[in-house]
Structure 1
């Protein structure tokens, strides 16, 4: 099936893409390597590879980007370092992996107190979030950064036993990443982290009791459901997950402005495409799991409320105490945006009575 190409960036963006395409044959050529954190699956297919394909198409063939699986060019959890050191011109990663280095990354990557995906997209592109992310990564890691790929809410857990209540989480050995590593301890769990390619074998042999990774659809390809017959939802620990394109600064500085703008627009295009694709596929995946004999469990309200409270308390406390130059600034921006949208569901959504 051919992939459809949607330019969802408005008339100005579409016009710029057309103008850039018309100049494609006159511009420089690029042969880039892209480091990623993924062994495969949707993050690779509709994220990293989709970006490479659209860059080649919209540049008239001037951009050739070869994508490498996690670990192929460097540590799968340290893609920005690989790019900064010049082992790859660009990379695809989740900024939240760097939360231990600077907790600000959790705000950009999503955490237990985050917006949903729609609000996060609005904040990133219309309320200055992407600009803050660019400034932050420039100063903290010496790379050019922008959003690339957006998840809806993740699965809370694929587990070897049912997880529904706070009591079920006590002592649970779960694989996770980012700030949730610390927050999960407040619920009594025993979290560990590892690269994506190691999760299935650890779950299969019982080295961990449970894992979180991606959304319903994204988790089909890793096959967690084959060795863990329980699935808990919703992913209140990760209501959204924006991913990231990082580009080497020296490479970026040598690019003409039109080519820089093309990279930005294509990254935005793929971000919206991934969000809409995942939304559709998640609905199908819910029924798929049921047919595979997976026991689908909605978390008790007390778990959902407790998890979100932990996230919000953590963010508020960190904003007061963090020595990071950016945490309080980003947190303030997100908090003000959230307040403006607080009653949005009342005037944007129509209540439907289910038959």
Structure 2
């Protein structure tokens, strides 16, 4: 109730500020670069934020959403925004991990939060403050978290994987932290842009791929070209997308509308949480009924091995990266403090 009251009060203040400043502000039109050629991360994620901003600002701020490659390379959205080629971007931290491994802690990693835990860390803990400070310090962009993703499918594969032993020698397309952690378990990893993932799996250039949840993966058709689908996605329990802004573009927006755009970020977090879950449930049932793919539940031993390797990796990063250490320690402490939830709450879908 405290959080709800604070959000309501913020909304009221923002609306008031917007009303007083609207007369003096011209309409601002922003271009948004994305890494998504299509699919639900573009439709439910980027487009939802644009629509929420337009609604909340009553059209004073409009966002034109561009698919991957239209404004810059799909994997370089942050750089495209930094250079001012795009006013803003719908970003995923995992694509920025080569610049700073801290991005994995925000973008989703094997030792990280679930969708619900990410939102709690952001809005009940220090996650939001750390995120904004980190993006400004390392990338010189303004950041608003604007979407929480689903737990992913562990992999679609030509080989059945259930135990740590099954990972030995597996050639896997992946990205972000898992690309460095999986080799600790005997995996050979390959990073490919989204446009090449389907063909690489189909032609068996790789043994397996990871991509997204059941909804997104069914759209891509991975179940039709590889016989095994492993779950759950211990490599990515969830992730968060952020809407990042070039500082010059951000400065063109009134303080009142900036506040409304922050609220639009929170609203889009809810939109994506509900939208991806609904999309995944529908797709999962359809896959079970119609797809020839064999669904495989990974063993607890593999979950434990991945978690152990992830914590080892995080400790290594913390030793040489102050930002990583700061965020990792804060996130870990917050997640540890949530342990009581499992004692008095039911997990979604557990009945």
Q: Structure 1 length as normaliser, TM-score?
A: 0.91
Q: Which residue of 2 aligns with 1:259?
A: 257
2-structure distance, mates of 1:278, 1:20 = 33
Question: 1:201 matched to which residue of 2?
Answer: 199
Q: 1:246 aligns with which of 229, 244, 254?
A: 244
- 1:339 corresponds to which residue? 336
Task: Decide which of 224, 227, 238 is 2:225's aligned counterpart.
Answer: 227
Q: Deviations over 1:284-315 (max 9, x none)?
A: 22221122122100001111110111112221
Cα distance in 1 for residues equivalent to 2:145 and 2:82: 17
For the residues of structure 2 that align with 1:25 and 1:124, how far apart are their CA atoms? 30
Tell me the SS of whatever aligns to 1:32. strand
* Structure 1 contact 92–244 (Cα < 8 Å) conserved: yes
Once residues 235 and 305 of structure 1 are traced to their aligned partners in structure 2, the CA distance between those partners, rounded to angstroms, is 13
Which secondary structure state, in structure 2, belongs to the residue aligned with residue 220 of structure 1?
helix
Residue 307 of structure 1 corresponds to 306
Contact 2:52 2:267 in 1 (8 A): no
CA distance in structure 2 between the aligned counterparts of 1:142 and 1:353, rounded to whole angstroms: 43
2:324 corresponds in structure 1 to 327
Aligned to 1:15: 12
Q: Distance in 1 between matches of 2:18 and 2:219?
A: 35
Cα distance in 2 for partners of 1:353, 1:253 equals 46
2:315 counterpart of 1:316: yes
SS in 2 for 1:40: coil
SS of the aligned residue for 2:147 comes to: strand
CA distance in 2, matches of 1:29, 1:351: 42
Preserved contact between residue 45 and residue 272 of structure 2 (Cα < 8 Å)? yes
Provide the secondary structure at the position in 2 that maps to 1:112: coil
| 1:167 aligns with one of 159, 165, 168 | 165
User: Alpha-carbon deviation of 1:352?
Assistant: 10
Which residue is equivalent to 1:296?
A: 295
State the match for 1:3 in structure 2: none
Change (3 A) 1:46 1:13: farther
Call closer, same or farther: CA 1:347–1:37 in 2, change over 3 Å: same
> Could you say which residue in structure 2 is the equivalent of 1:4?
none
1:148–1:351 CA distance, 2 compared to 1 (3 A): closer
Structure having the higher helix fraction is: 2
Paired with 2:13 and 2:308, the residues of 1 have a C-alpha distance of: 43
Deviations 1:313-346 (A, max 9, x none): 2212322x12x33111111211221221123210
Q: In 2, Cα distance between the equivalents of 1:316 and 1:106?
A: 13
Partner of 1:287: 285
SS in 2 for 1:164: coil
Q: 1:73 to 1:343 in 2, by over 3 A?
A: same
1:151 to 149, 152, 160: 149
Counterpart CA distance in 2 for 1:150 and 1:212 is 18
Alpha-carbon deviation of 1:48? 0.8
Q: Which residue does the alignment assign to 2:188?
A: 190
Aligned equivalents of 1:346, 1:30: Cα separation in 2: 49
Q: Which deviations, in whole Å up to 9, do the C-alpha atoms of 1:3-43 show, x marking residues without a partner?
A: xxxx9984224434654675686332111111000011111
Q: Does residue 56 of structure 2 align to residue 58 of structure 1?
A: yes
Aligned residues: 346
Q: Give the SS at the match of 1:100.
A: coil
Distance in structure 1 (CA, Å) of the matches to 2:350 and 2:238: 27
> 1:35–1:92: 8 Å Cα contact kept in structure 2?
yes
Segment drifting more, 138-147 vs 277-286: 277-286
Q: For residues 244 and 329 of structure 1, what CA distance do their matches in structure 2 show? A: 20
Instruction: Point out where structure 2 has 5 or more consecutive residues left out of the alignment.
Output: none
Secondary structure of the residue aligned to 1:239 is: coil
Q: CA deviation at 1:63?
A: 2.2
Aligned partner of residue 15 in structure 1, secondary structure:
helix
Distance 2:65 2:348 in 1: 44
